[in-house]
Structure formats: structure tokens, C-alpha cells
Chains A and B, each alone.
Chain A
Amino acid sequence: MKVYLIDPINSRLLFLLKKMGVECLTKKEDFASSPHQILFSFFEQFDALIVEATQPTQEIMYLLAQAILQGKPTLCYYQKNREPRQLLGFLRRPEAKNIITKAYTRNTIENIVLSFINILSGTRRFKEKPTIRFTLRLTSAIERYLNWKIQGKDITKADFLREMVEKEINKDEKYQAELKKG
């Protein structure tokens, strides 16, 4: 997954996102230049936009306006008690349903971004593809249970096991804290 991150304030986010396996573009130089320059769309080069918008510049307003036009999933956060009211008035319109807005503090910013990435990962489009081969020997009792569990459902035993592990990952507070430590 690729995100365009515009946040000069919370620099740790870049490291956090990279640790999650998210590729971050942060400046124009990061974007590819196509030999057919006029064919290549800037907005096609990333999956989501993440913007710090406490004091939105003209460029940020423009990017957010384009994100709404393009339907690009966007997280727009601002410092708590410093709402950019005019901007939020635009972003809370029904046409801007692809934009999530959140107030943040130094303690909550990482959870907000993590939650956004998880939301994106939860959709079929952004779900990570399993690529690592892992051999697991089962007892016959476990195998019977798995066969019974997936009956009538359109998933495989492997899918079921992966979903179980992902639930554990999200529940594991120590592990989540470890991720945040960087």
C-alpha cells in the first residue's frame, strides 16, 4: 500500500508507517515521472492521502479538493482544540465521504493513523496478500474442527486460521505497544 503523507509536525509517523509495511511518499521527488508525462496522473500513484491540516495551506486545500473529486481515501487530522473550521465545513459534506477527519493529540495520533491504515487494509482492495509459506501439522481433532467450522462458508481453512491470528494481533496490547515504540 502507498500513501502520500503530508505532516511536517509528527515525524515519527513516517517510521511507524514504514514499519507497518506501508510505502510513504512525502515529497514531489518521490513521485515517478512517466515518459508520457502528460498521461501520468499524480493521484494515481498512491492509494491514500494522509494530511495534517491544523493550519491548511493553499496546497493542502487543493489536494483535499482533488481527493474529494477523485474519491481518494483520505485521513485529515488536526490538533485538538485548534479546529480548522472552514475546512471541516467542506470536508463534512456528503460528497466528501472518502475523507475521515479526526482531532488528535500527541498521544492519540499514532492510533488514529494505525486505525486508518487498518480500515484501508480491511477492504478487499487493500488487503495484504499472503505470500509466506508456512507448514503447520495438525492433529486430527483440530482438522475435524476446522472442517466443521468452514462448512457452508466461502472461506478455506487457511483463511479461517489467518483471520484468527489477525484478531489476536489486534487484541494484543503488548504487541501494539511494541509497534508504537519504533
Chain B
Amino acid sequence: MVDFELLLKYFSGQAVPEEAMQVEDFAAAAPDQYAYFKSLHESWMAAGGEHYELPDVRKEWELFRQKHVIHKVIQKPVHDTLFKRVGIAAALLLLVALPGYFLLNPRTDQQKLVAAGTADSLLLLKDGTRVTLSPHATLSYPGMFTEVSREVTLSGDAFFEVSAHPELPFIIHLPHELQVYVTGTSFTIRQRPAEVVIDLKEGHVLFFNPTDTLRLTAGNTGSYLVTKKTFLLQQIAPLTGSFNFTNASLEAVARQLNQHFQVHIQLQNAALAHCQFSAGFEGQTLNEILEAISATFNLNYTIENKNIYINGTACH
């Protein structure tokens, strides 16, 4: 139920988005409620000498559609396009390291690279994006990208290094109505009957289907389970890290290491928590860092999966 006062608050233009949604949901819930809502709004307007009229939604949609939805693809005279396509193909053939072959479809603007053979095929797209196709993978892409997006279709596995064009998203269409949306990053797509997996090296990627979206950030792996139709995020802990500790307590050091490497360091002796540690680490592994700490304070440690137990008597 929506409070009367909330309705007034809404009418007077003081409602935050969440409240506005509540009010509009209330209005839309049943014809009776809608009638009540509309007449109250009218009275409110009249009370201030104002007037409100709903626009014709159909008209507004047509306006919107005409202006923005009708695709604007660069049109070129036919012979030019043919020449360009041959030109692109020629340039690309030089870069293809290993067997793959092109299918040129003269009727549409789409081209296809089918990776044959037993090794990878490297493809350089017009925008500078590099795609390494695994054997038997197929990438379908247009001769020219549109003004709004760069769209390709992939079946099989590939490693993408998408060139950065923030205003021009790169969209990969996959089976099962899946799409991958990036602006400029590098990642691997692996497709299996039961799942589709994306391994993200850098940047971020949107991996989605009509109902769900998974946002991947660097270092993560996302998978889509085909039968369950759900997305899963697998977080991979980094292998190395850089830290600068200046008179940091071992407790604080442990906390930072825990967070970065996704482990659980436990100081078995409570006295150890206050040992002061100063050291800089540049791209070191967890083990290297633990070694350094142990050496400094004459401690020892044991690792059991994600748990690390540090033992010792006191700080020396």
C-alpha cells in the first residue's frame, strides 16, 4: 500500500526514483487504483492552477523509432564494397599464420573465417582486434563495422584481444542467445556442450542472455551452464602481489595478504599479531612473502589448502 502522503510527495516532484516506482506500480496495479490515482493527480494539478496531459505513447514510440532505431549502416556502391572486401581478404591472408579459409558472401556484407587444420588461426579485424581461433572454430564478421557497434558471431573457441574503442562496443554473439559485450579487453571464450566459459585477462566484460547478466572483471572466469541456464562467477586468486609494508603489524599484513591471495592466514601465537614488519614486495608470490616474513621473525608456517598457520614464539 502506498501512503497518501507519498502520492502527494510524488505529485509535487519530491520523490526519489524508488518512491516514484512504488507510486507508479500502485497506479498500474488495478483499474480502480489507476482511476483513484489519476483523479487525485488532476485535483492536485487543479489546486495549483496547473494542467497535465499524457502524451500519445504510440506517437512518441514512432518518433523514437524513426529517429534512432532504424539502422544506419554505411552504404557504399556495390563495386566499391566488392573491391574493399577483396582488399581486406588479401591483407588478412598475409596475417593468417596457419590454415584457415575465408568464405566471402557477395550478397551480404558478412564474412566468415573457418579455422581448419590442427593449429590456431590468427585473424586481424579492421578495428585492430586480434582473434586467435582454435581449430574448428568459426568467426563470422561484417566487412565494415557499423557506427554503433562492432558485432561478430563465434562458434567454437577463440582468444580475443579487442582493441579499445570506448564508444564502439564489441559484441560477440554466441549460441544459446548468449552475448558478450566489451569495449577493449582480452579474454578467452571456450564453448562446450554443457557450458560456455569466459576467461578474462584484463578489463571487463558483460556476459549475458535475454534474462541474466554476468559482469566479469579482470582475473575472473565466468561460465554459463547450458541446461540450467545460469551464470556462474569463478574468482581466481592472483598468483602474485605487490605490497609496501611500513611498520605494519603482522595482523594487518595477514589481513592484506588474505584479501589479495584469498587465503586464510592464522597467527597461532597471539603475541605475533603486534610484530612490526617493514618490507616492500614487487610481484612476489604468497610463498615468497611468507618466506620473507618467517625469516624476519624466525617463524615457521604450514599451508593446508587455503589455510596458513604461522607459528613462533615472539618477535625478534
Do the two chains bind?
Answer: no
Q: A-side interface residues toward B, CB under 8 Å?
A: none
